[in-house]
Homo-oligomer: A and B are copies of this chain.
Amino acid sequence: MRTEPTTFSAESYFATQLPPSTLQHDIDNIRQFLARQVKEGRNVVLVTSGGTTVPLELNVVRFLDNFSTRGATSAEYFLKAGYAVIFMHRQFSLQPFSRHYSHSTNPFLDFLEIETAQNELGGSSRISVTPEKREHLLEVLTAYKTVHALGTLHTLTFVTVNDYLWLLRAVSQEMAILQRRSMFYLAAAVSDFFLPRQKMSEHKIQSGKGSLLIEMDQVPKILKPLVDEWTPGGYIVSFKLETDENLLLPKAKQALERYGHQVVIGNDLHRRKFEVVFVTRKSPPPTVVADATKPTDPFDEYWLRIDIPAHPAPGEPVKEIEEDIVAELVKRHAEWIKQA
């Protein structure tokens, strides 16, 4: 693997790549959703979740992928905190509420039972919930129905990194009307690389004889125009996932410096379920000290950790770090709204 120079700015990206066909329809729905939230006085958070794909062919059979599951969990806690949530997620990735019943790890068919009753008309069958699963399902179902009744959750789906970029621009431009009352919780794992449609093979790449060499271009740095142009009032939280813990803080600080947004949440791949770090700029900025040999760090770090039970009892509810991440952000967002 080697790197070569690249060219795409956000501007040239949107000028050369095609929008998803449903974009205008999505925008119309978002506009309605936001109008209601403004009227009802709610803060709104955009939560992005799941990985983006990078198609290698126009008739896509193969694609690059990556993963992220933080968003679905966090969206539930934002809803609980009274926020309206635009949940923009990778198609088929986990969603708030239904995430508790993954078809792979906790399939709902397993806790439904068929009861057959006899009466004078013959047998009749009724479906019921296994007693030990009833309480938790009732809790999830109640939260789900409440959110649907209030109309505080709006779901958008993307598949490719191109869908993601177009949607993010459109949603953030619409959310600009909320000014400081909007938050952006950018938890999706967005590919850094993509294959411009102009370079894609039209048909399935034939395996033929030999290896496959793919050169992908860099995805434009989208946080810069998001902060500066699309939604200047928003409280913007981005994530930095690393597997080398020595890179975590330097990369988080570099992102803050480069894009000028509010918070970077750093997480190590293997520790992300019980430890994250909030990196922010010091406010007010530190005054320059006389001793110039000790440069002042312009950043604050706030480590958030939870205990993971060594041997959780089966069925015992497990504390989720997203609960504390969201609580901390809701507090900081409120202070930031007050400062305006």
Contacts and interface: CB of A to CB of B under 8 A. Distances in A.
Interface string A123-148: 00101110000100110111011000
Give the number of copies in the complex.
2
A134 B101 CA distance: 19
B127 A212 contact: no
B61 A64 contact: no
A282 interface: no
A104 B92 contact: yes
Contact of A216 (B94, B137, B208, B211): B211
A188 to B, nearest CB: 13
Given A193-B211, A207-B192, A211-B216, A269 B65 contact: no
A283 to B, nearest CB: 29
A213 B64 contact: no
Interface in A73-107: 91-92, 94-95, 97-98, 101-104, 107
A157 interface: yes
A210 B5 contact: yes
Contacts of A128: 127
Interface residues of A, number: 72
A107 to B, nearest CB: 5
Contacts of A204: 241-244, 269
Contacts of A92: 92, 102-104
Contacts of A269: 59, 61, 204
Interface stretch (A27-35, A108-116, A290-298): A108-116
A95 to B, nearest CB: 6
11 contacts: A1-B214, A6-B210, A57-B243, A62-B65, A63-B66, A92-B104, A101-B108, A114-B141, A127-B138, A203-B242, A213-B215
Closest 5 CB pairs of A and B: A3-B210, A192-B207, A59-B243, A65-B65, A98-B103
